[in-house]
């Protein structure tokens, strides 16, 4: 007999760690998991942002705590996972959302900026995934890893997007997701990625100001940018039992941009 959909998508009793969870897309994903019943630990660099985010979630009845840390630093990642294990007892869901960008023409892109983007956008995903798998998911033969990629990782740059390191790192996230799914399926761990299109955020503020929100929205078949609800369903699908037979997949949430521009 099949399982009712409400039960499949219920995360009651589940636990989740969300990196970059203090604002923007990370906070939206955290809200989705928390509203479905998961107990959360958020992490990002700034304690003030985390405190504010946790307060927003708690006001919605969500059990959320936070740990300030720099995801690009392996020692900080170890501390986050160790403290989260102490608080939660186990980690069922890991959302690798922490990320950064840097705008510069490829011929002038600083090497130190390249390294900063790569360390946060892809190396930290490997570090966090490995630590969480070792501490909880592999021993328990269960886990859900959700990586936040981008449609920028599905195709090349345009003349408007001088973000060679960002695009390259997000392309790496796409294949990291596929490779890890192949290795860890035997442990009952699913690994999937969400590839957002353009959402108003601090990261996209400069580009949207230069190009114009209306012009950017016009590039999508749905003629709109992403909003505060558009990642919730995808995140919950990948985190819940409703997605238990989905792994190694990249889901673009972009208003159809990748459907017409490649990816």
Q: Is residue 32 part of a domain?
A: yes
Domain count, the chain: 1
The residue ranking higher by pLDDT, 27 or 1, is 27
Chain segment 165-204, per-residue pLDDT in tens: 999 999 999 999 999 999 999 999 999 999 999 888 666 6
> What CATH number does the domain containing 87 carry?
3.40.50.720
- The share of the chain scoring above pLDDT 90, in percent, equals 83
pLDDT exceeds cutoff 60 at 210: no
Task: Determine contact, residues 143/131, Cβ cutoff 8 Å.
Answer: no
Which residues are identified as catalytic?
A: 166
| Alpha-carbon distances, residue 256 vs 21, 88, 121, 211, 220 (angstroms) | 26, 38, 24, 19, 6
Q: Where are the beta strands (DSSP E) in the chain?
A: 15-19, 39-44, 64-68, 93-96, 143-148, 189-196, 250-253
Q: What is the dihedral of CA 169, 171, 172, 174, to 10 degrees?
A: 130
123 lies in a domain?
Answer: yes
Residue 219 lies in a domain: yes
Q: Is residue 152 a part of any domain in this protein?
A: yes
What confidence score (pLDDT) does residue 103 get? 85
- Would you say residue 261 lies in a domain? no
> What's the DSSP call for residue 105?
-
On whether residue 238 sits in a domain, the answer given is: yes
pLDDT in the model for residue 213:
72
Residue 240 belongs to a domain: yes
Measured from the Cβ of residue 152, the count of other Cβ atoms closer than 10 Å reads 23
Tell me the sheet residues that pair with 16.
40, 93
**263 part of a folded domain:** no
State which residues form the domain around 91. Answer: 12-255
| The pLDDT of residue 204 | 61
Q: How many residues does the chain have?
A: 263
Considering the entire predicted model, what is its pTM?
A: 0.94
């Amino acid at each position: 007999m099949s399982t009712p959909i409400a039960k499949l998508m219920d995360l009651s009793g589940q636990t989740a760690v969300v990196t970059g969870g203090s604002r923007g897309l990370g906070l939206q994903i955290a809200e989705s998991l928390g509203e479905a019943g998961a107990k959360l630990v958020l992490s990002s660099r700034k304690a003030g942002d985390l405190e504010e985010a946790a307060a927003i979630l708690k006001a919605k009845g969500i059990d959320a705590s936070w740990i300030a840390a720099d995801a690009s630093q392996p020692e900080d990642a170890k501390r986050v996972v160790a403290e989260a294990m102490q608080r939660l007892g186990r980690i069922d869901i890991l959302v690798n959302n922490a990320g950064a960008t840097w705008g510069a023409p490829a011929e002038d892109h600083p090497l130190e900026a390249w390294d900063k983007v790569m360390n946060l956008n892809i190396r930290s995903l490997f570090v966090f995934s490995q630590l969480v798998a070792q501490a909880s998911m592999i021993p328990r033969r269960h886990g859900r890893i959700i990586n936040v990629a981008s449609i920028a990782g599905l195709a090349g740059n345009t003349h408007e997007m001088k973000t060679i390191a960002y695009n390259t790192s997000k392309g790496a996230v796409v294949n990291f997701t596929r490779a890890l799914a192949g290795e860890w399926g035997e442990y009952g761990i699913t690994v999937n990625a969400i590839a957002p299109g353009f959402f108003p955020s601090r990261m996209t503020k400069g580009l949207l100001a230069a190009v114009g929100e209306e012009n950017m929205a016009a590039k999508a078949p749905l003629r709109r940018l992403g909003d505060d609800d558009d990642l919730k369903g995808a995140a919950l699908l990948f985190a819940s039992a409703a997605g238990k037979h989905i792994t190694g997949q990249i889901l673009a949430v972009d208003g159809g941009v990748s459907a017409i521009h490649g990816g």
